[in-house]
Amino acid sequence: MKTKLTTKDLITAGAFGAIYLVLLTVLSSVLTIVPVLFLATPLIAGVILGTVYMLYATKVPRTGAILVLAVLVGLITSMATIYPLIFAVVWGIIAEIITVRKHNSAGALAASYCVFNLTSMGPFFALVLAKDAFLESCSAYYGAEYVATLDALTPSWIVVVLIALALAGGLLGGLFGRRVLKKHFVKAGITV
């Protein structure tokens, strides 16, 4: 992997970042309507966004590009608290480390995305850190019945399930993206 991000790389990163963030926002907005689907967001978004991530990683094969995308996701998901941004940076660094060691491997990119998809956990930190305040804000938008259902579906250990769903979504999305983009990988000199 080349080490220096150029201006062109940053522009490409911004364009792909915008696509990734728009899709993540749309998916999150639509899935939030039903409490069970809201909780499945890390899985569903991970599967759908895997192809965008894999294409991004082939178009901007520079050290730091994945971290740039992680910071963008962290900024968008950090509306109420700073914790999603902090964790997004951590997941972005780990995803970078995975690709630095085997930069020309589609398998490494898929593994990298598996970790990167944990950045979609941002909104769920409020469920762990301040559940009552989160549910109160939800009641203004979705009503008491929605809040009661969401409260019943989110015991204290739900974060473990959500992390497992995010990892599974990342794995499936990475494998799907790898399969869909096989032609791009070969063209970029990445072993499939």
Question: Does 186 have pLDDT greater than 90?
Answer: no
Question: Does 188 have pLDDT greater than 80?
Answer: no
pLDDT digit string, tens, across residues 74-92: 888 877 678 888 989 999 9
Question: Do 190 and 99 form a contact (C-beta atoms < 8 A)?
Answer: no
Per-residue confidence at 1, pLDDT binned at 50, 70, 90? very low
Quickly tell me which residue has 């700073």 as its tokens: 82
Round to whole Å and give the CA distance between 165 and 83.
Answer: 19
* Cβ burial 53-75 (10 Å sphere, 16+ → b, else e): bbbbbbebbbbbbbbbbbbbbbe
Extract the tokens encoding 183: 């032609």
Per-residue confidence at 16, pLDDT binned at 50, 70, 90? confident
pLDDT digit string, tens, across residues 103-148: 667 888 889 999 999 998 877 876 777 788 878 878 888 888 988 9
pLDDT at 112: 93
**At residue 99, what is the residue type?**
T
Adjacent-strand bridge partners of 2:
62
Extract the tokens encoding 3: 């080490």
CA quadruple 68, 17, 99, 63: dihedral sign? negative
Closest CA to 35 of 120, 133, 130, 158: 158
Across all residues in the chain, what is the average pLDDT? 85
